[in-house]
Structure 1
Amino acid sequence: MSDIVSPEKNLFLSVNNERDHDMICKVSRALSVPDRVKILKCLLLRPKNLSELSQELDIPLSSVSRHVDALAEAQLIFVNYQPGLKGHTKYCSQMVLSYTVSLDVPRLEESPAREYSVEMPVGLFSHCHIKAPCGMTGKEDKIGAFDDPRTFFLPERIEAECIWFDSGFISYNFPSPLPTEKLSASELSISFEVCSETIYYNNQWPSDITVFINDVEVATFTSPGDFGGRRGKFTPEHWPVTSTQFGILKKITVTAHGVFIDNCYVHDHVKIHDLRLADGNAIKLTIGIKEDAVHRGGINLFGKNFGDYPQAIVLTLK
């Protein structure tokens, strides 16, 4: 990944930096064509090949190929090749979540916002109440027995890189900032790679996934499917390609203004003060499927060595 793209997949450029000028022009040209903007929208939920983009947007395949090349040159999308029935197929996926061009000069007197971040392995959960089908697999091999919830209490669970279950909840305790951090949080965000769960995989398998923080229900989002059909970028070779391969990266944010999903405002029923972050030694995150969910399609959670994104579950306070 380019050094102008942050680990959080934010592209930041500044007119004050002459080294950024060429990339500013490339990105601006890439975004100046409406069909290219439509392609970016098509890639929000999952990676797609050129034929899928051509069919969805009713654009000739040759035009899609040119547009994709321009977007890739501007570092707005990833392009890779996967073996298919007729040779290799070009797949496109989202590279950045936001694009910022600064038209200002740095103000030295302004101190950067303080930030506290913890990455939690998906297998290091503190509590779970789940139902089969379920299971865990690691970077090297599967963990325990599939479809037996008792597996989730094995000490080897710490090595898990992908966990899945049909229904229920799983909780993680993140350490609260130490007093030495001197951090008064005005924003909390959680990001993780996730998808639905069904036998093998099904790209059209919705699941309503709910997130709680400190036992406060924060938000529900719908995963569109249990994604497969090509190997995830970081999915280990031992895992069969006929099974779940990757998810989508979700970001849940709570501020003084309310709740945001993937930087889009959702509601103001819960605000940062409702989470009572200063009341305990840990911040409890719970992810799962509610009993009354409209789409009870299961859940897969991915670690940094599985799926399309090299991260586990990340909590950030600002």
Structure 2
Amino acid sequence: MEIEVNRRNMHVLECFSSPTRVKMIELLGEQPMNIKSLSEALDIKSPIVTRHIHMLEEAGIVRCENVPGKRGTQKLCYLQLTHATLLFKGKAAKEEKNRYFVSLPVGTYSSYEVKPTCGLASAERMIGMCDDPRYFADPEHVHAKVIWFGSGYVEYRIPNYMVNNERPDSLEISLELCSETPCTVNHLPSDIVFSVNGTEVGTWTYPGDFGGARGIYTPSWWHKNIQHGLMKTIRITRQGSYIDGVKVSDVTIEGLSLAYDKEILFRISCSASAKNCGGVTLFGKGFGNYNQDIEVTLRCL
């Protein structure tokens, strides 16, 4: 995982500012642990441990799974990130010349096929009626700041600004998302698949136990249980495809057939036949915990 040292990545950099969080990383580097075990090892209360773990998970450093325990379920925590490289001014500036950036509002999808539960909302109001896929074709969909669906896909056309003598080196896409969580359910894991130009680059399983607390940027009028998601970064390089620095497939940037005169198609999907069909919710600027849309960076040689 490569982390540029800037304000946009403060949610990652701040994870290392706390001795408690660093100690958690050390402990999880030895073995997976549940919240109770971490609480006892650190001699701090479980709710405080949970808040630290939430922060580490949102940064992609830790992942959690709900597994059966002696009394119901327990949250088991794993160290997900094995290494990270900080990019300071020198290297980042060197890459800037051949770097193309675009921010896509979540409502500007170019094609879709969705099944209920589904819906869209702008920063001010709902767009159309809930659970009616026809409103995904409403011209107002381009103003959506949050969209959700139970199964299916949305696809975006990413503009490609390469010139004809450049070769793509990496493609990075960051976005905030979670499962499509109905109003009364807070545990709904979901297998979410990311594809570029028709090639599946990786699958991420949303753990399904976030979203109940109000999102930092979520409007006050919004009262559904879907409040915020987790920030995910998909990166396709010459070595393979990664989600938050963890390799998820051998698909390389060369295998995506990127050409300077062709746009890039990015699809987010959840199959009805998936093991965990929890759907998808996408948060854009003005919703969730991260005030951003779908951000895309293409670096070239």
1:257 and 1:55, CA in 2 relative to 1: closer, same or farther beyond 3 A? same
Q: Deviations over 1:5-59 (max 9, x none)?
A: 43144767xxxxxxxxxx9xx9577279634655999xxxxxxxxxxx9636233
Question: Given the alignment, which residue of 290, 297, 300 partners 1:316?
Answer: 297
Q: Which residue identity is paired with 2:279?
A: G
Matched-pair contact (CA < 8 Å) for 2:170–2:238: yes
Matched-pair contact (CA < 8 Å) for 2:127–2:135: yes
Greater RCO (Cα-Cα under 8 Å, separation 6 or more):
2
1:32 and 1:136, CA in 2 relative to 1: closer, same or farther beyond 3 A? closer
User: What 5-or-longer segments of structure 1 have no aligned partner?
Assistant: 13-22, 42-52, 69-77, 80-90
The reply on whether 1:204 has 2:205 as its aligned counterpart is no
How far apart, in 2, do the equivalents of 1:285 and 1:150 lie? Answer: 22
Give the 5 Å matches for 1:163-182: 163-179=147-163
1:130 and 1:56, CA in 2 relative to 1: closer, same or farther beyond 3 A? farther
- Secondary structure in 2 matching 1:59: helix
Q: Which residue identity is paired with 1:59?
A: E
Question: Given the alignment, which residue of 239, 257, 274 partners 2:222?
Answer: 239
Matched-pair contact (CA < 8 Å) for 1:203–1:224: no
User: What 5-or-longer segments of structure 2 have no aligned partner?
Assistant: 62-83
1:111 and 1:313, CA in 2 relative to 1: closer, same or farther beyond 3 A? closer
Q: Percent identity?
A: 35
How far apart, in 2, do the equivalents of 1:184 and 1:221 lie? Answer: 28
How far apart, in 1, do the equivalents of 2:285 and 2:89 lie? Answer: 36
Larger radius of gyration: 1
1:151 and 1:226, CA in 2 relative to 1: closer, same or farther beyond 3 A? farther
Q: Which residue of 1 aligns with 2:263?
A: 282
The reply on whether 1:34 has 2:23 as its aligned counterpart is yes
Root mean square deviation, CA, Å: 3.7
Matched-pair contact (CA < 8 Å) for 1:187–1:255: yes
Question: Given the alignment, which residue of 184, 200, 204 partners 2:167?
Answer: 184
Q: Which residue identity is paired with 1:30?
A: P
Matched-pair contact (CA < 8 Å) for 2:59–2:231: no
Give the 5 Å matches for 1:214-233: 214-225=197-208, 227-233=210-216
TM-aligned CA deviation for residue 225 of structure 1: 1.2
Q: Which residue of 2 aligns with 1:75?
A: none
Q: Deviations over 1:216-269 (max 9, x none)?
A: 1111111111633210011110100x521010111111111111111111221x
TM-aligned CA deviation for residue 178 of structure 1: 4.7
Q: Which residue of 1 aligns with 2:8?
A: 7
How many residues are matched? 268
TM-score w.r.t. length of structure 1: 0.72
TM-aligned CA deviation for residue 138 of structure 1: 1.3
TM-aligned CA deviation for residue 198 of structure 1: 3.1
